[in-house]
Amino acid sequence: MPKLRGADILARALAVAGARDIFSLSGNHIMPVYDAALDAGLRITHVRHEGAAVHMADAWGRLTGEPGIALLTGGPGHANGIGALYTALAGESPLVMLSGHAPLNQLGSGAFQEMAQADLAAPICKASFTSQRAESLGDDLARAMRIARSGRPGPVHLSLPQDLLDAVVDDAERHVPARDAFHAPAQILSSGQAASVLTAIAGAQRPLIITGPQLASHRGAALCQQLRDATGVAVVCMESPRGIGDPCLGAFGDVLPEADLIVLLGKQTDFTLKFAAPPAVNANCRFIVMDADIKVLRQSIATLKAGRVLASHVADAPEGARTLIAESLKNPLKTNTYKNHVEEAVAYRPAAWVDAKAQSPGVVHPLDIGRAVQPWLDRADDPIFISDGGEVGQWAQACIRAGTRLINGVAGSIGSAIPFALAARVARPNATIIATLGDGTFGFHMAEFDTAARHKLPFVAVIGNDSTWNAEYQIQLRAYGKDRTHGCELAPGAAYEQAVVALGGHGERVTNVADLPAALARAVQSGKPACVNVMIERLPAPNVTRKN
């Protein structure tokens, strides 16, 4: 048998797992992996910042359901990638962050970029560990991928000491795991458990099913639609840091207090649900809690307190949905009238939005961005809409629809939109990809337009430019008054589109709403990574309600 390096075992294991696309920024510790990638047929998208690589792996996980792979160097490279792990953790996105690491045989002696990397990443990962033997690198990768995709999906970190990557291993092929080693068994909801849930739903007057981020993907959305149709119950997916107040959910907050039974399908009772406390949720409302993570399950039960929980079950959210669908088809339930009430509230948008216009010259209303973007997504064969956080992100999410949507998620972070778009292009080469983001967000990863140009990954970024960190500015206005707003300003009307052109992309600048459709058309049709820099009116995010 040939003698291979530890790096070759790792690269071949990635290939066996089907993880042939890797998002990476090079560095000393991981150059053996770059070399091994050539023989293993791995494709590397080489980025400009480690955080972007992790965001790309996050997007890959959400889009494909398979763990995305970020490959970073050790020490400061590892540290640069850590912040993005939190977005993936809160978004329930499977990924594995592989980090180079100082050689094991030099630890404690002041090795180059020596750092307790696993300890640093542990708080925002499902698991975080360091390989200890060259022979086990393949098995360690398989373990990391199993953990990342099992139960509540999420990020896992694995550090790769450089001496292990360089080490020559005899009979190395037998240390490359078989494909099934990278998969974990599903946690199934039994038919009996599903039948008891459906019995409780049938006995309720106003039942509701609420899901979490795992079912927000296009695959999850299709499953939720099947669950809705099979049970006759409204199914609401919550994946936004705005929670009940997510503008994408319309006036959902108006009708939630009316529910008398809520089935939490992979949705914990956290801040987004206002901890299921009155007045957001009726004190007499009862709950059935299903979750793949026993710790989360117990936390939700403790938050709800005694008397409010009818039942709890350990099950993966997708598998729970499938079993409920199967049991519902055996014994169909009558469609509950509360279902239509909830769905009408979620679909509600204020009538004033139809004709909303900017009140100042030289800017457009944030809604105008949605009006321009939506037709392109409507006529696309494979539309992907990506939106970052902040105030303009909330306007976009409230009025733009697509078969596939990626947002920053429950973490409430910003900065992921551009990396998400690049990963979407790698995963779905023929998709129409439009990302909306604010001018603050654009600054995080604008250099990735260089990555997009080098790797020929076209997409369109539409910037809502109000020359401020508007979310924080609005907090200052509300909490402290106009005279105490400061420190949140950005350069007035900065020419971000020119930066994109300089990096090899296409740029458009818009100050008049009448010019927006044509500018967007030129950007889409350019075939390049494109930026449409739109000057917008500085407005707070919408708070949708029918009570006013």
Residue 364, strand partner residues: 536
Listing DSSP states for 482-515 in one string gives GGG--S-B--TT--HHHHHHHTTSEEEEE-SGGG
The predicted-structure confidence for 81-111, as pLDDT tens digits, reads as follows 999 999 999 999 999 999 999 999 988 888 8
pLDDT exceeds 80 at position 335: no
Cis preceding-peptide flag for 94 (omega within 30 of 0): no
Q: What predicted TM-score, i.e. pTM, was given to this entire model?
A: 0.96
Tokens 């292009």 found at: 425
pLDDT exceeds 70 at position 1: no
- Phi and psi at 307, nearest 5°, equal 95, -20
Q: With 0-12 CB in 10 A as exposed, 13-18 as middle and 19+ as buried, what is 75?
A: buried
Q: What does the pLDDT read at residue 484?
A: 96
Q: What does the pLDDT read at residue 169?
A: 92
Q: What does the pLDDT read at residue 2?
A: 60
The predicted-structure confidence for 22-50, as pLDDT tens digits, reads as follows 999 999 999 999 999 999 999 999 999 99
Q: With 0-12 CB in 10 A as exposed, 13-18 as middle and 19+ as buried, what is 283?
A: exposed
C-alpha atoms less than 13 angstroms from C-alpha of 410 in its C-beta half-sphere: 24
Q: With 0-12 CB in 10 A as exposed, 13-18 as middle and 19+ as buried, what is 192?
A: exposed
Q: What does the pLDDT read at residue 107?
A: 86
CB-CB contact of 506 with 523 (8 Å): yes
Fill in the DSSP letter of residue 507: E
Instruction: Identify the CA nearest to 374 among candidates 525, 530, 250, 517.
Output: 517
Cα distance between residue 506 and residue 531, in whole Å? 6
Q: What percent of the chain has pLDDT over 90?
A: 93
Neighbours of 294 (CB within 10 A): 12
End-to-end CA distance of the chain: 75
Structural tokens at position 166: 């360089």
Characterize the bridge pairing of strands 127-130 and 155-161: parallel
To 5 degrees, how large is the angle CA 520–CA 526–CA 532? 35
The predicted-structure confidence for 456-483, as pLDDT tens digits, reads as follows 999 999 999 999 999 999 999 999 999 9
Q: What does the pLDDT read at residue 331?
A: 84
Instruction: Identify the CA nearest to 406 among candidates 149, 44, 61.
Output: 61
Q: With 0-12 CB in 10 A as exposed, 13-18 as middle and 19+ as buried, what is 198?
A: buried
pLDDT exceeds 70 at position 279: yes
Cα distance between residue 69 and residue 207, in whole Å? 40
Cα distance between residue 538 and residue 362, in whole Å? 12
CB-CB contact of 154 with 92 (8 Å): yes
Q: What does the pLDDT read at residue 123?
A: 97
Cα distance between residue 321 and residue 217, in whole Å? 14
Longest Cα pair distance anywhere in the chain, in angstroms?
Answer: 75
Average pLDDT across the chain, whole number: 95
CB-CB contact of 167 with 36 (8 Å): no
Residue 309, strand partner residues: 287
Q: What is the mean pLDDT of residues 407-417?
A: 93
